[in-house]
């Protein structure tokens, strides 16, 4: 019994030692996001407007910009949220974590570690 | 006194006796033939410049008292220089007698001759080839002064009471002209008297004799000629009579006999006024082989004006036409060969008026035919029998308006047919105008020879016809049908006509034609009318096609369709008691079909036509071989306004009408059940198409459609959108049966589409090239500019062995969108609401959207109804129980209906209460790793509320809390459309001292489980709830609110 108690204390001690401070979340300037972006290696485009609306289309699927699907976006620190608005009346939210945002480069990843890279095209 | 008479008697007797004695002495002693003959011979030689021969001369008195009669025997005048067939005799007679009334001559200086007789004589006049005549005995002497002729006679009267010729032969031979004429055995008695300048009477009576004439080409002979001539001249008045009994006349010309013993006669009684040059013909009768021509009247000659005035009547009788036909000369027999004629003909009339170089008298004629028959095989294949007629004619060359031909009756019979004609024709000489009526009763086989044999036509039956026409020749030539009046009534009895393989039979058919139409139903259709009535009409083409029509009644009336400047007006009505038609294995039977078609100018636009069509029938049965159609009643009525100025075909034809069908049944080979149409009623106008009722029974299903399609015309004009509002109701719809019935229909098209689907997707850039458009029919494109709504109300529907009830909702096509709007229905497992949308902005960019709500649905039923949901959310298979399911999804498609994955969006929400985990294999592995206390195969789950989204090929399952056993876990993760997944089950409440989780990854065939750090350790933990709510929970709420919003709208 005493031995078992010692084991538990050891585990707690180890756990306490392993506990660290939460990493500080970076902040990106959403002004850099405004514009038209093309996903690297694809014909997928995103545009972000200053009124926090945007649209996306894939020209590989014979979809033009005029036929693009709309979404609303927000960028809080590094969390980019896109709420895609369906014509049937529902919404499809997508959240990403921005890892890089410059005037020409955008990189973010989703909760499952899938990374998306974009280049600004105008 | 007595003494005086005695003395006077003795004296007179003495004187008479003395005279007698003197006469006796003179006759018997002085004027004996022996003394008298030389005296006469010497006197004749003085006055006759040719040699003569006188045999014996005798003078008689007592036998011819009180006249002296001179008798000369064997008298002849000779011309010895002549060389001719006549020899040297010019005139010869056995006896010449003559008597003179001496008393009249002595007392009144009147020469009364009587008893002039020439017996057994011969006169032969001859002209040789040099023109020398044997009768030229008195050559003219130019030095001889003309006699002082004051025109008067030396006697107060010359009276030749009797001149008798007996057995006299006359010959005239002219070798110069080749003419020879002879008279044989002439016996004639003539009486004549002549008073100077004012009176002459002649009467000549003959006994039959023969006359012959011949020249180089013409020969003529008259036998039995016995003319009786009387002429009386009284001043300028001449009365003449000539009677010639019919005798045999023969005439030949150039070797051809024109007359052979023809009976020719003449009877003339006339009075002439020489001063006026006029004649009154009391009777002129000519006869020729039974043909007689009689003329009466007056004719006069106006020498000043050079014209003849006539006022004559005539009559022509031909009692035996065959005799006249037999008189046709042999030279013309070839023209009448085979022609036979009989019967009688009579014609009579007048000739009145003036004849000169420029005018002709007016002629009337009344012709009557009695029992005339004729046969001419070359012209008519049948003989004409019993031709009877009564015709009248009036011809006036100066006034053609008074000229006419009146046919009171003209009837002709053939062996089995009859034709009668009556009427009148005017203006015969300029533009004949006829008003004729014909009645005919024809035996059609008699007319068959008129049809060329090459047509292979056979006919049987009779035709009774009555045809009336009023027209002028110019109208006919110019086809001025608008001015022609005609009517015809034809009745066919037992008609059977066969033309090649086409045959037609009818028992009793009437055909009427009218020009113009006397009973026009409209003001435009007065030009012509026609009608057909038939009790039975059978038509066959070979052995494969046949039609039988009973109670046929067809009426047609029309305007002048030849007038291309105006829209024709035509009305047609066809009614039948029963119609049947068949071709090979197909047949149609229709009871009381009626068709009415009319064409007329539009009231507001006379330059455009308006068509009206009415079609109706009683029971209808059509056997089309493998298919069969039946109906109890069919009525279609339509009025179509045509506008040729419109380019669009719909705008050209503006229909307005109604359609009505009762108890229609279609047995189609492609369907195992008949298609029943109990009632279909609809009205249509250029603006509105309204279906009052359209019911369909098919197998276990029944449908009814009602509603209205509006704004049709403005839509096609581009002025407005097309609006439609229909109600679709059904007591029961067997969807499974309908799908089975329609499966395979149009399989060829489907095969083509399948082939196209399997082919690689065409490049977008090439999708709309003309070549591809021609080769690929493309997807269904929702029409633009229309707004159609179909309100469905299906009481129950069976589908996939499920019974769906209370199906209620709208199907709408509007602005290029096809939508199922809030369609609600109830299944045994759930109440369902469905909204779906299909848009076609362009051919290679289609849109389909779905908004689907299931209330109180069994999870198993949900997966059964939507099998694809198992692929998106495979963990659902692990739950059992009741829940709600809300789904919204949309995507774009290409022209081959392939998903454009980049446009796929979806969101779903599931809410379950009292669920159970039933998937033993998966649950067992999770339970083992998490050391569940209760590892039974069914574990109670208090509640389940989950949301997931679809974005392109990513399906994100938002973290949701489930409570199982002693554990509360948060489940979340991602499922890809390639069926790979990555889930994390984080324990938020458990007996374990640490926040463990299980990660499930891989795919359904190769699942990987491993313990990992809890991914959602703070989710649903009361201490961290606020924080969580600001992130994922907010998104879940957003999804859920948007999904159920439509349900809320429905409830509102």
pLDDT tens digits, B174-199: 888 888 888 888 888 877 776 655 67
C-alpha distances (whole Å) from B43 to each of B33, B38, B48, B117, B591 are 15, 9, 9, 20, 121
pLDDT at site B1001? 86
In this prediction, residues B699-713 reach a mean pLDDT of 87
Which residue carries 């307005």 as its tokens?
B656
Is B744 or B405 the better-scoring residue by pLDDT?
A: B405
Is A56 or B283 the better-scoring residue by pLDDT?
A: A56
C-alpha distances (whole Å) from B209 to each of B81, B168, B215, B221 are 31, 9, 20, 11
Minimal-distance CA residue of chain B relative to A83: B1035
Cα–Cα distance for residue pair B958/B975, rounded to 1 Å = 11
Least trusted range by pLDDT, from B563-577, B579-593, B861-875: B861-875
**Model confidence over B652-671: pLDDT tens digits?**
888 888 999 999 998 888 77
What values do phi and psi take at B1031, rounded to 5? -120, -100
Q: Is the pTM for the entire model greater than 0.80?
A: no
Is B775 or B293 the better-scoring residue by pLDDT?
A: B293
pLDDT at site B932? 65
In this prediction, residues B520-546 reach a mean pLDDT of 88
Is A43 or B543 the better-scoring residue by pLDDT?
A: A43
A25 CB within 8 Å of a chain B CB: no
DSSP label at B775? H
pLDDT at site B874? 62
Examine the pLDDT at B273 and tell me if it is beyond 50. Answer: yes
Distance from CA of A81 to the nearest CA of B (A): 10
| Residues of chain A with C-beta less than 8 angstroms from the C-beta of B1045 | 89
- Using a pLDDT cut of 70, give the percent of chain B over it: 85
Is B606 or B628 the better-scoring residue by pLDDT?
A: B628
In this prediction, residues B32-59 reach a mean pLDDT of 81
**Model confidence over B957-1000: pLDDT tens digits?**
888 887 776 777 888 888 887 878 888 888 777 776 766 788 88
- Using a pLDDT cut of 90, give the percent of chain B over it: 14
Per-position DSSP letters for B200-259, written without gaps between them: EEEEEEEE-EEEEEE-SSEEEEEEEE--EEEEEEETTEEEEEEEEEEEEEEEEETTEEEE
In this prediction, residues B260-284 reach a mean pLDDT of 88
What confidence category does residue B764 fall into, taking pLDDT thresholds of 50, 70 and 90? very low
pLDDT at site A121? 93
Examine the pLDDT at A9 and tell me if it is beyond 60. Answer: no
Angle at the Cα of B1032 from the Cα atoms of B1027 and B1034, rounded to 5 degrees: 85
Please enumerate in sequence order all residues whose Cβ is within 8 A of that of B54, keeping only pairs 6 or more positions apart, or say none. Answer: B37, B40, B41, B44, B72, B74, B75
Q: Do A112 and B974 touch (CB under 8 A)?
A: yes
Cα–Cα distance for residue pair B836/B849, rounded to 1 Å = 5
Examine the pLDDT at B602 and tell me if it is beyond 90. Answer: no
Please give the helix or strand (H or E) that residue B782 lies within, else none.
none
Per-position DSSP letters for B891-954, written without gaps between them: EEE-TT--EEEEEEEEEEEEEEEEEEE--HHHHHHHHHHHT-S---SSEEEEEEEEEEEEETTE
Q: Where are the domains of chain B?
A: 44-134+155-271, 276-327+334-430, 829-1051
**Model confidence over B65-76: pLDDT tens digits?**
667 788 888 888
**Model confidence over B482-508: pLDDT tens digits?**
889 999 999 999 999 988 888 999 989
> Is residue B750 a contact partner of residue B756, using CB atoms and an 8 Å limit?
no
**Model confidence over B853-878: pLDDT tens digits?**
888 888 787 777 777 667 656 667 77
B39 CB within 8 Å of a chain A CB: no
Which of B35-44, B160-169, B235-244 is the most confident on average?
B235-244
**Model confidence over B885-917: pLDDT tens digits?**
888 889 999 988 888 999 999 888 888 777 776
pLDDT at site B942? 60
Cα–Cα distance for residue pair B50/B90, rounded to 1 Å = 10
What confidence category does residue B1051 fall into, taking pLDDT thresholds of 50, 70 and 90? very low
Examine the pLDDT at B1013 and tell me if it is beyond 90. Answer: no
User: Residues B912, B917, B922, B923: what is their CA dihedral angle, to the nearest 10 degrees?
Assistant: 120
What confidence category does residue B142 fall into, taking pLDDT thresholds of 50, 70 and 90? low
Tell me what ipTM this predicted complex has.
Answer: 0.87
Annotate B317-369 with three-state secondary structure. Answer: EECCHHHHHHCCCHHHHHHHCCCEEEEEEEEEEEEEEEECCCCCCEEEEEEEE
* Biggest CA pair distance of chain A: 73
Q: Do A62 and B844 touch (CB under 8 A)?
A: yes
In chain A the domains, ranked by start, together with CATH numbers, are 27-120 (2.40.128.280)
B1038 CB within 8 Å of a chain A CB: yes
Please enumerate in sequence order all residues whose Cβ is within 8 A of that of A84, keeping only pairs 6 or more positions apart, or say none. Answer: A56, A69, A70, A71, A91, A92, A93, A94, B905, B951
> Is residue B450 a contact partner of residue B432, using CB atoms and an 8 Å limit?
no
Q: Do A61 and B902 touch (CB under 8 A)?
A: yes
Examine the pLDDT at B148 and tell me if it is beyond 70. Answer: no
> Is residue B763 a contact partner of residue B902, using CB atoms and an 8 Å limit?
no
- Hey, is B1041 helix, strand or coil? helix
Across all residues in chain B, what is the average pLDDT? 81
> Is residue A46 a contact partner of residue B951, using CB atoms and an 8 Å limit?
no
pLDDT at site B772? 40
Q: Do A88 and B851 touch (CB under 8 A)?
A: yes
pLDDT at site B143? 53
Cα–Cα distance for residue pair B430/B260, rounded to 1 Å = 41
Cα–Cα distance for residue pair B259/B255, rounded to 1 Å = 12
- Hey, is B128 helix, strand or coil? coil
Is A107 or B107 the better-scoring residue by pLDDT?
A: A107
Angle at the Cα of B468 from the Cα atoms of B465 and B474, rounded to 5 degrees: 130
What confidence category does residue B761 fall into, taking pLDDT thresholds of 50, 70 and 90? very low
| Residues of chain A with C-beta less than 8 angstroms from the C-beta of B907 | 86, 90-92
Examine the pLDDT at B835 and tell me if it is beyond 60. Answer: yes
| Residues of chain B with C-beta less than 8 angstroms from the C-beta of A93 | 949, 1035, 1038-1039
pLDDT at site B531? 92
Is B254 or B635 the better-scoring residue by pLDDT?
A: B635
In this prediction, residues B293-306 reach a mean pLDDT of 89
Distance from CA of B653 to the nearest CA of A (A): 39
Which of B55-69, B84-98, B118-132, B835-849 is the most confident on average?
B835-849
Cα–Cα distance for residue pair B309/B301, rounded to 1 Å = 6
């Amino acid at each position: 019994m005493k031995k078992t108690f010692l084991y538990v204390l050891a585990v707690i001690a180890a756990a306490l030692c392993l506990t660290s401070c939460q990493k500080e979340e970076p902040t990106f300037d959403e002004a850099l996001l405004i514009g038209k972006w093309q996903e690297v290696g694809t014909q997928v485009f995103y545009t972000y407007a200053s009124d926090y609306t945007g649209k996306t289309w894939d020209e590989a699927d014979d979809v033009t910009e005029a036929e693009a699907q709309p979404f609303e976006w927000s960028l809080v620190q590094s969390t980019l949220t896109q709420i895609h608005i369906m014509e049937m009346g529902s919404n499809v939210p997508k959240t990403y974590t921005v890892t890089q945002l410059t005037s020409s480069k955008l990189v973010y990843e989703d909760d499952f570690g899938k990374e998306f890279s974009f280049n600004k095209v105008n | 006194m007595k003494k005086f008479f005695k003395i006077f008697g003795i004296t007179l007797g003495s004187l008479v006796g003395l005279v007698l004695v003197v006469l006796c002495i003179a006759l018997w002693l002085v004027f004996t033939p022996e003394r008298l003959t030389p005296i006469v011979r010497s006197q004749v030689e003085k006055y006759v410049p040719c040699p003569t021969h006188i045999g014996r001369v005798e003078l008689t008195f007592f036998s011819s008292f009180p006249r002296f009669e001179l008798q000369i025997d064997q008298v002849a005048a000779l011309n010895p220089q002549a060389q001719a067939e006549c020899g040297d005799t010019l005139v010869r007679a056995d006896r010449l007698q003559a008597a003179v009334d001496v008393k009249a001559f002595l007392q009144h200086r009147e020469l009364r001759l009587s008893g002039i007789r020439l017996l057994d004589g011969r006169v032969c006049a001859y002209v040789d080839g040099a023109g020398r005549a044997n009768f030229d005995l008195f050559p003219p002497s130019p030095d001889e002064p003309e006699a002082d002729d004051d025109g008067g006679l030396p006697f107060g009267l010359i009276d030749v009471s009797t001149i008798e010729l007996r057995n006299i032969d006359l010959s005239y031979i002219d070798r110069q002209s080749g003419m020879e004429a002879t008279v044989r055995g002439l016996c004639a008695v003539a009486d004549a008297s002549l008073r100077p300048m004012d009176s002459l009477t002649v009467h000549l009576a003959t006994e039959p004799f023969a006359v012959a004439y011949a020249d180089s080409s013409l020969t003529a002979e008259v036998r039995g000629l016995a003319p009786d001539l009387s002429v009386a001249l009284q001043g300028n008045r001449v009365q003449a009579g000539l009677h010639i009994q019919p005798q045999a006349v023969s005439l030949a010309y150039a070797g051809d006999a024109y007359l052979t013993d023809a009976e020719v006669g003449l009877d003339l009684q006339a009075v002439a006024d020489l001063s006026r040059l006029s004649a009154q013909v009391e009777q002129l009768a000519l006869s020729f082989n039974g043909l007689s021509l009689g003329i009466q009247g007056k004719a006069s000659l106006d020498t000043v004006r050079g014209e003849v005035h006539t006022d004559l009547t005539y009559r022509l009788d031909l009692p035996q036409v065959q005799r006249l036909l037999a008189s046709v000369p042999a030279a013309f027999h070839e023209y009448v060969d085979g022609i036979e004629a009989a019967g009688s003909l009579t014609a009579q009339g007048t000739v009145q008026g003036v004849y000169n170089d420029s005018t002709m008298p007016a002629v009337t004629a009344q012709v009557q035919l009695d029992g005339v028959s004729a046969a001419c095989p070359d012209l008519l294949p049948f003989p004409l029998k019993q031709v009877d007629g009564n015709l009248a004619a009036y011809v006036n060359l100066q006034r053609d308006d008074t000229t006419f031909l009146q046919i009171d009756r003209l009837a002709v019979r053939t062996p089995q047919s009859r034709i009668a004609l009556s009427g009148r024709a005017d203006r015969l000489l300029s533009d004949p105008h006829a008003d004729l009526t014909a009645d005919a009763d024809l035996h059609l086989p008699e007319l068959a020879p008129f049809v060329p044999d090459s047509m292979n036509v056979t006919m049987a039956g009779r035709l009774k016809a009555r045809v009336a026409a009023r027209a002028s020749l110019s109208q006919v030539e110019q086809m001025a049908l608008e001015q022609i009046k005609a009517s015809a009534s034809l009745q066919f009895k037992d008609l059977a006509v066969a033309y090649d393989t086409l045959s037609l039979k009818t028992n009793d058919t009437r055909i009427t034609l009218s020009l113009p139409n006397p009973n026009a139903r409209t003001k435009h259709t007065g030009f012509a009318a026609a009608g057909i009535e038939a009790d039975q009409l059978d038509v066959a083409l070979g052995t494969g096609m046949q039609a039988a029509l009973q109670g046929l009644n067809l009426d047609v009336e029309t305007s002048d369709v030849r007038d291309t400047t105006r829209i024709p007006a035509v009305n047609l009505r066809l009614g039948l008691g029963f119609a049947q038609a068949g071709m090979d294995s197909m047949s149609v039977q229709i009871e009381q079909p009626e068709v009415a078609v009319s064409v007329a100018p539009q009231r507001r636009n006379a330059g455009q036509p308006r068509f009206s069509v009415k079609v109706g029938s009683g029971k209808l049965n059509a056997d089309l071989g493998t298919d069969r159609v039946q109906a109890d009643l069919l009525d279609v009525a339509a009025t179509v306004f045509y506008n040729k100025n419109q380019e669009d075909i719909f705008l050209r034809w503006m229909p307005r009408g109604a359609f009505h069908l009762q108890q229609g049944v279609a047995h189609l080979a492609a369907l195992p059940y008949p298609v029943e149409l109990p009632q279909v009623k609809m009205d249509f106008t250029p603006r509105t198409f309204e279906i009052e009722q359209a019911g369909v029974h098919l197998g276990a299903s029944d449908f009814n459609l009602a509603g209205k399609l509006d704004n049709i015309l403005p839509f096609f004009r581009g002025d407005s959108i097309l609006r439609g509002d229909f109600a679709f109701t059904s007591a029961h719809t067997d969807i499974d049966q309908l799908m089975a019935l329609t499966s395979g229909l149009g399989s060829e098209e489907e095969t083509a589409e399948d082939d196209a689907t399997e082919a690689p997707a065409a490049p977008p850039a090439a999708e709309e090239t003309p070549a591809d458009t021609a080769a690929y029919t493309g997807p269904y494109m929702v029409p633009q500019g229309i707004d159609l709504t179909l309100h469905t109300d299906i009481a129950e529907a069976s589908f996939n062995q499920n019974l769906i009830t209370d199906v209620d909702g709208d199907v709408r096509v509007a602005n290029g969108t096809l939508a199922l709007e809030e369609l609600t229905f109830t299944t045994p497992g759930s109440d369902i609401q469905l909204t779906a949308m299909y848009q076609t902005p362009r051919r290679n960019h289609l849109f389909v959207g779905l908004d689907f709500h299931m209330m109180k649905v069994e999870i198993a039923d949900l997966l059964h109804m939507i099998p694809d949901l198992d692929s998106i959310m495979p963990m659902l298979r692990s739950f059992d129980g009741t829940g709600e399911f809300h789904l919204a999804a949309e995507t774009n498609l290409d022209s081959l209906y392939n998903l454009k994955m980049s446009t796929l969006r979806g969101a779903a929400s599931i809410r379950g209460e009292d669920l159970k985990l039933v998937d033993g294999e998966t649950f067992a592995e999770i339970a083992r790793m998490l050391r569940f206390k209760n590892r039974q195969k069914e574990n109670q789950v208090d509640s389940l509320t989950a949301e997931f989204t679809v974005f392109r090929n990513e399906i994100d399952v938002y973290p949701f809390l489930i409570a199982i056993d002693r554990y509360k876990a948060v489940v979340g993760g991602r499922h890809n459309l390639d069926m790979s997944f990555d889930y994390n089950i984080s324990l938020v409440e458990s007996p374990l001292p640490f926040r463990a989780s299980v990660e499930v990854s891989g795919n359904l065939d190769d699942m990987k489980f491993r313990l990992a750090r809890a991914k959602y350790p703070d989710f649903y933990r009361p201490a961290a709830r606020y924080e969580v709510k600001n992130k994922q929970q907010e998104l879940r709420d957003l999804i859920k609110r948007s999904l159920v919003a439509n349900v809320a709208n429905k409830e509102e």
